[in-house]
C-alpha cells in the first residue's frame, strides 16, 4: 500500500505542476475590429520547433475567406531535405472572441490560435495557443526591423513565453 500511495501522490503532484506550467501563459487576445484584416499572406518570422513544421524554412500562411464564413488556411514552407515546398491545408473558424480562431489541419481536431498582440497597422501578429510550446510571430513582410522584432519578443515574454527556443526566419 505504501508504494501505491507514494506513486499516486507523485502522479497528482506532477499533474498539478503540469497544469500550473500550462496556465502560466497569458492567453488574453487583442480585439480585431474587422476580421477581414487577417486575410491574405503572412510570413512566419519566428516559431518554436514542433513536428508539423520541423526543418521547414521560409514558412508562409495564407488565410482565405470561404463562402460558409470559415477560413481556408494554407501553410507552406521550403523543406531542404526534399528540395521543394511542403504545403498543409486546414480550416479555421472564428469564435465569439474576435482575437481567437479555432484551427484544424486534421479532420475535426481543432486548436486555439490566440492573437496575443498585433502591430498598430496590422503589419504583424503574435499568435499563441493553449500551450506555452506553440508561439508564432507572423508579419506581412519577410522581415521587420530588429528593434521592432525585439519589442514583439518582449511582449511574448510578458505573456509568459520563454522565447529562448524560438527559431527565427533566416
Question: Which residues, including other chains, have CB under 8 Å from residue 75's CB and lie 6 or more apart?
Answer: 53, 59, 60, 61, 87, 88, 89, 90, 105
DSSP 29-96: PPP-S-GGGG-EEEEEEEE---GGGTT-EEEEEEEEE-TTS-EEEEEEEEETTTTEEEEEEEEEEE-S
Pick the CATH number of 27-168 from 3.40.50.740, 2.40.128.20, 1.10.10.10, 2.60.120.260: 2.40.128.20
The pLDDT profile of the chain, 170 residues, written as one tens digit per residue, is 555 544 444 444 455 555 544 558 999 999 988 889 999 999 999 999 989 899 999 999 999 999 999 999 999 999 999 999 999 999 999 999 999 999 999 878 899 999 999 999 999 999 999 999 999 999 999 999 999 999 999 999 999 999 999 999 98
Is 126 in contact with 154 (CB distance < 8 Å)?
Answer: no
Is 58 in contact with 45 (CB distance < 8 Å)?
Answer: no
Cα atoms found within 13 Å of the Cα of residue 152, Cβ hemisphere only: 29
Q: How far apart are the first and last CA of the chain?
A: 56
45-to-57, 65, 93, 125, 144 alpha-carbon distances in Å: 10, 23, 24, 10, 8
Digit-coded pLDDT (tens) for 1-14: 555 544 444 444 45
Q: Is the pTM of this model over 0.75?
A: yes
Report which DSSP code applies to 144: -
- Hey, where are the domains in the chain? 27-168
Q: Look-up: residue for cell 492567453?
A: 27
Amino acid at each position: 500500500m505504501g508504494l501505491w500511495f507514494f506513486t499516486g501522490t507523485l502522479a497528482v503532484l506532477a499533474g498539478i505542476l503540469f497544469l500550473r506550467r500550462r496556465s502560466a501563459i497569458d492567453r488574453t487576445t487583442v480585439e480585431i475590429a474587422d476580421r477581414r484584416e487577417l486575410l491574405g499572406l503572412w510570413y512566419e518570422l519566428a516559431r518554436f520547433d514542433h513536428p508539423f513544421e520541423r526543418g521547414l524554412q521560409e514558412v508562409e500562411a495564407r488565410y482565405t475567406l470561404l463562402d460558409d464564413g470559415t477560413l481556408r488556411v494554407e501553410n507552406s514552407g521550403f523543406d531542404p531535405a526534399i528540395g521543394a515546398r511542403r504545403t498543409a491545408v486546414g480550416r479555421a473558424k472564428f469564435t465569439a472572441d474576435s482575437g481567437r480562431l479555432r484551427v484544424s489541419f486534421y479532420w475535426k481536431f481543432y486548436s486555439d490560435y490566440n492573437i496575443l498582440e498585433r502591430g498598430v497597422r496590422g503589419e504583424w501578429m503574435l499568435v499563441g495557443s493553449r500551450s506555452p510550446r506553440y508561439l508564432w510571430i507572423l508579419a506581412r513582410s519577410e522581415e521587420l526591423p530588429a528593434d521592432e522584432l525585439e519589442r514583439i519578443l518582449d511582449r511574448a515574454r510578458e505573456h509568459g513565453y520563454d522565447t529562448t527556443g524560438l527559431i527565427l526566419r533566416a
